[in-house]
Structure 1
Amino acid sequence: MKPLAFRMRPRTIDEVVGQEHLTGEGKIIRRMTEAKKLSSMILYGPPGTGKTSIASAIAGTTQYAFRMLNAVTSNKKDMEIVAAEAKMSGTVILLLDEVHRLDKAKQDYLLPFLENGMIILIGATTSNPYHAINPAIRSRCQIFEVKLLEPESVKKLLQQALEDDERGLGALQTSVDKEALDHFASASGGDVRSSLNALELAVTSTKPDKQNVIHVTLEAAEECLQRKSFAHDKDGDAHYDVLSAFQKSIRGSDVNAALHYLARLIEAGDLVSIARRLIVIAYEDIGLASPQAGERTLSAVEAAERLGFPEARIPLANAVVELCLSPKSNSAYKAIDAALSDIRAGRAGEVPAHLKDAHYKSAAKLGRGVDYQYPHDFDSGWVAQQYLPDTLKQKRYFEPKATGKFEQALASVYEKIEKSQKKPTR
């Protein structure tokens, strides 16, 4: 028998649960389906969120032939069979899983059929299509994001499966504790496939009581679902979304959010990304406001790398809390980016003659190093002279922030130097 998640796939657009932004009343996929004016599309989102379900529901509502292939495992011959069917019947809906891995030969074969509308392609992928999918395919498709389902939507589907006599578990006398149902709905992290298949495992592996009732407890639910609190693919977009949220939470000084995203990365076992991102944050977002944070973050990262998980979580948590609550400054980072922008725009200018290398014979004849004033010859260790090229001599890249005592002290010295430089000695 096929898995419960397969059997419970919606047969029409009305049976789709969740994804109201696409299939709700008046929304784009429902309008296209009801009007039978379909265009090829790409559905992208985490696993188990209903990409295949939406495709089968579209086919069921429109009564078009529906075929499923995989861009990796299916070959060109498989596509030729679908194309031949399309020529016979007029229109075939082709669900192509892992569409981001479609090679050029298969793509070139499909394109003419997409152009003339004989094949309505519904590509399914967990990757961001704007990054991963060939522009030739992407330009011929509408792109729709499929989102993780909320626990209430998952629970609704679980209830339907328990009550459905034909496709679900309704033929069995089943009693599922509220706590168990809640666990199936929430602990899968919006992955409906995982929830349904775990429910089926719990029901079919539990012995009936004396009244022939299968009683599913929270303990059974936990055993069958195991631990899957969120969808995380180290090579996918979800991974970079979590890393982005992690850095932005630290930048925004939200300790609790930062620890949440750290926990997600720890659960994914991705020490390398955590370590790299923390060191970047220490210098990009904390910077001169608390220079010691960089050194302590590096120490915490090195300790975590030596310890490995699970103990690595301890120095990492220390670093995250400190970075969250440290004063923030991106002044050094912004300053070097501004300088790089000038260089890349061709505004480099010539090095002033008095700063040029003078460690060779006849350098003075060429004007190299002449009139250079050695700062250490002065009591203050500083002397006013021009260092920037003439074309940039008034340029100011570094804009200090008053977010930490260290940077305030630097700003004070900076301002004094700038005032003195207004009247250079040469």
Structure 2
Amino acid sequence: MRQPLAYRMRPQKIDDLVGQQHLIGPGKIIRRMVDAKLLSSMILYGPPGTGKTSIASAIAGSTKYSFRMLNAATDTKKQLEIVVEEAKMSGTVVLLLDEIHRLTKPKQDFLLPHLENGRIILIGATTENPYIAISPAIRSRTQIFEVKPLSEKDIAVALKRALTDSENGLGKMNISLSTDAKLHLCRATNGDLRSALNALELAAKSTVPDTNGSIEITLAVVEECLQHKALVQDKNGDAHYDVISAFQKSIRGSDADAALHYLARLLASGDLISVIRRLLTIAYEDIGLANPQAAARTVSAVTAAEKIGLPEARIPLATAVIELCLAPKSNSAIAAIDSALSDINKGGYGEVPAHLKDAHYSGAKKLHRGTTYLYPHDYPHDWTAQQYLPDPLKGKSYYKPKSNGKYEQVLKVQYERLKKAQAGHPLN
């Protein structure tokens, strides 16, 4: 039986991998391991279809070690024993253990000594947080790496390879993939390359060729295969970003109904990733200090949405959207940091005042570092006037507090009180 396209296109060496440049890019940790042939056991965690198995396969292919795949939940201890016996005969085996968070105690006890002596290079794969779901005994013997959802560009590269590869891909089928269909495959799969490749194969093999033997894959076909509708059929993809823009501006403008409408459009297209990223940005950019608890609850809501996935993710996301719409608004934090960055970018900074410099090393006193620093906790109200900004910025104010929420009203009073005291007024 012929394997699925995603399986056939699995990279055989590390140079063939797409995405995950923070791990396999030039000079990055896994690349250095492979180049130096100094592999150590590791755990790869991240969403499905993001390359955990591909990384393991590519590591084995690049190092010429034997490669075996087992599932911690369904494969038996006997199957682990077979892999260990092979390692004793051949020297080293790279073992990809899927769902490693479900590894039982007896299997773990059997495996640990073989990790210790290096016969088995374990690459555990999991969608769960390993710091919570995996036993300390395994964690202490492995390095933990996060595998991130692939970008649209990464998926586009992999789709092109699949369409042109005549041996393992679809290169012999004379396929024409429309621009908007390709764009939808890259977006609606939310960084899941396996889903994109298998949808492409289904679209190709379920489309009747024309009289010339060509297979034209349109947006409508891809939507049917993915069971996700595109936002609109625009080849440039501008509507996608227009909806995201309208989503943020509706929340900023406190229109809950409009925000829910745009949320629904994004979710209907399957674009959970964009919703999550944008909501986290909105919470801190547009609500900010006017209601910090709303931002914290948004973080909780998007975390829940990531864990449960669509369609249930719509519930915590809608909750967060409604609260952010109706919360008081303040952009004082982003305005403050942007103002400070503007000064830095224009060279508007000076030397750190001598009394604030590090004094925790031998010879600091001879250099007059930190010798005149006033320790605030030694003074009434745990505060005393002294200069903190560099001389060129002395007296500069970046934070411009607003009064739209009770929390920032309190901050405003305290900020202005301390500014007056710093200028010489009594602290009351």
Bin the TM-score by the shorter chain: 0.5 to 0.7
Q: SS state of the match for residue 29, structure 1?
A: helix
The one-letter code of the counterpart of 1:11 is: Q
The one-letter code of the counterpart of 2:93 is: V
Q: Deviations over 1:320-342 (max 9, x none)?
A: 311253899xxxxxxxxxxxxxx
**1:134-283 matches, cutoff 5 A:** 134-227=135-228
| Residues 49 and 192 in structure 2, CA contact (< 8 A), matched pair in contact too | yes
C-alpha displacement of 1:319: 3.9
In structure 2, relative to structure 1, the CA distance for the partners of 1:314 and 1:40 (3 Å cut) is closer
Distance in 1 of aligned mates of 2:406 and 2:31: 59
In structure 2, relative to structure 1, the CA distance for the partners of 1:177 and 1:119 (3 Å cut) is same
| Residues 188 and 228 in structure 1, CA contact (< 8 A), matched pair in contact too | no
| Residues 253 and 325 in structure 2, CA contact (< 8 A), matched pair in contact too | no
Q: Deviations over 1:5-61 (max 9, x none)?
A: 000000101111111111112221112112221100011111100000000001111
Q: SS state of the match for residue 10, structure 2?
A: coil
Gaps of at least 5 residues in structure 2 are 231-247, 273-288, 295-311, 333-379, 382-400, 412-428
Match of 1:106 in 2: 107
Match of 1:71 in 2: 72
Distance in 1 of aligned mates of 2:127 and 2:408: 47
| Residues 25 and 31 in structure 2, CA contact (< 8 A), matched pair in contact too | yes
1:320 to 312, 324, 339: 324
Distance in 2 of aligned mates of 1:288 and 1:121: 43
| Residues 164 and 171 in structure 2, CA contact (< 8 A), matched pair in contact too | yes
In structure 2, relative to structure 1, the CA distance for the partners of 1:228 and 1:192 (3 Å cut) is farther
In structure 2, relative to structure 1, the CA distance for the partners of 1:207 and 1:410 (3 Å cut) is closer
Give the structure with higher Rg (CA): 1
The one-letter code of the counterpart of 1:69 is: L
In structure 2, relative to structure 1, the CA distance for the partners of 1:315 and 1:135 (3 Å cut) is closer
State which drifts further: 3-12 or 180-189. 180-189
Structure 1 length normalisation: TM-score? 0.60
Match of 2:388 in 1: none
Match of 2:14 in 1: 13
C-alpha displacement of 1:128: 1.5
Identity of aligned residues (%): 55
Q: SS state of the match for residue 211, structure 1?
A: coil
Distance in 2 of aligned mates of 1:327 and 1:161: 46
Please identify runs of 4+ aligned residues in structure 1 that moved more than 2 A: 252-269, 285-290, 308-320, 324-328, 401-411
Q: SS state of the match for residue 211, structure 2?
A: coil
Q: SS state of the match for residue 325, structure 1?
A: coil
Match of 2:240 in 1: none
| Residues 156 and 182 in structure 2, CA contact (< 8 A), matched pair in contact too | yes
In structure 2, relative to structure 1, the CA distance for the partners of 1:101 and 1:402 (3 Å cut) is same
In structure 2, relative to structure 1, the CA distance for the partners of 1:287 and 1:111 (3 Å cut) is same
Distance in 2 of aligned mates of 1:216 and 1:135: 49
| Residues 52 and 95 in structure 1, CA contact (< 8 A), matched pair in contact too | yes
C-alpha displacement of 1:118: 0.1
Give the CA RMSD over aligned residues. Answer: 4.4
Structure 2 length normalisation: TM-score? 0.59
| Residues 288 and 404 in structure 1, CA contact (< 8 A), matched pair in contact too | no
C-alpha displacement of 1:226: 1.7
Distance in 2 of aligned mates of 1:97 and 1:137: 14
In structure 2, relative to structure 1, the CA distance for the partners of 1:179 and 1:79 (3 Å cut) is same
Distance in 1 of aligned mates of 2:68 and 2:150: 25
The one-letter code of the counterpart of 1:190 is: G
Asked if residue 50 in structure 1 is aligned to residue 51 in structure 2, the reply is yes
Distance in 1 of aligned mates of 2:229 and 2:144: 28
Match of 1:118 in 2: 119
C-alpha displacement of 1:72: 0.6
| Residues 328 and 404 in structure 2, CA contact (< 8 A), matched pair in contact too | no
Match of 1:83 in 2: 84
The one-letter code of the counterpart of 1:321 is: C
C-alpha displacement of 1:204: 0.3
| Residues 289 and 404 in structure 1, CA contact (< 8 A), matched pair in contact too | no
| Residues 100 and 124 in structure 2, CA contact (< 8 A), matched pair in contact too | yes
Q: How many pairs are equivalent? A: 297
